[in-house]
Amino acid sequence: MTRIIRALAAAGAFWSAAAAANDVPFWTVEEDSRVGFVATQSGAAVEGAFEAFTAEIAFDPGNLAASRVAVVIDVASVNSESKDRDDTIRSAALFDVAQWPEARFMAEGFTALGGDRFEAAGELTMRDATLPVVLPFTLVITEEAGVQRARASGELEVSRLDYGIGQGLWADTSVVGEAVVIRIDITASRSGS
């Protein structure tokens, strides 16, 4: 967990300075936020979530060029409602949390698609692989009693094998499918308008 805090602090310090210079608001992520996934096992959908993650969000729909997001996930916090499956996910054959305890999503390229739809272009790191990804998401911002609340929801599909998640027998996609959908549902708040 110390490595996660250090990685987020480094990213946050860099982006905080950039965002502050451009007057981009910072958002506090709320506890009901979720980073989850859907995979397939023997043809059936398996859902799960990572219960521990931190996020640094500096975002302004009116200033996308200066907006930044950094998310660091504690991979060992995986919960798919099966202890055996979660132990396998943590193992060297899949995420290998002993060697790579965190996954990261860093985005600094945002595009407005109209209405409440956006895309975040960035990099996703799992195990020792970092690849470019584009996360489409919807964003709804409301305000009540001087407090703004934002809810961002989106998903993207990745190949687990592109990230080395599937060593040895687990590289076979006949039992555990290659495609994994990552889902985010983030709620955050900030004071002032």
Buried b (16+ CB within 10 A) or exposed e, 34-45: ebbbbbbeeeee
Does pTM top 0.85 for this prediction? yes
Under CATH, to which class is 2-191 assigned?
mainly beta
Give the residues across from 131 on adjacent strands: 124
Tokens of 65: 């060029």
Q: Report the distance separating Cα 29 and Cα 95, nearest Å.
A: 25
Q: What is the pLDDT at residue 13?
A: 46
Question: What length does the chain have?
Answer: 193
Give the residues across from 110 on adjacent strands: 120
SS3 at position 83: helix
What would the pLDDT profile of 31-53 be if each residue is shown by its tens digit?
999 999 999 999 999 999 999 99
Q: CA angle, 42 as apex, 38 and 45 as ends, to 5°?
A: 25
What are the structural domain ranges in the chain?
Answer: 2-191
Phi, psi (5° rounding) for residue 11? Answer: -65, -40
Three-state secondary structure of 109-135: EEEEEECCEEEEEEEEEECCEEEEEEE
For residue 10, what is the enclosing H or E element?
helix 2-21
Is it the case that residue 4 has pLDDT exceeding 80? Answer: no
Tokens of 26: 């910072």
- Grade residue 193 by pLDDT with cuts at 50, 70 and 90: low
User: CB burial class (10 A; 0-12, 13-18, 19+) of residue 76?
Assistant: middle
Tokens of 114: 């109209």
What would the pLDDT profile of 112-171 be if each residue is shown by its tens digit?
999 999 999 999 999 999 999 999 999 999 999 999 999 999 999 999 999 999 999 999
Q: Nearest-CA neighbor of 154 among 133, 130, 126?
A: 133
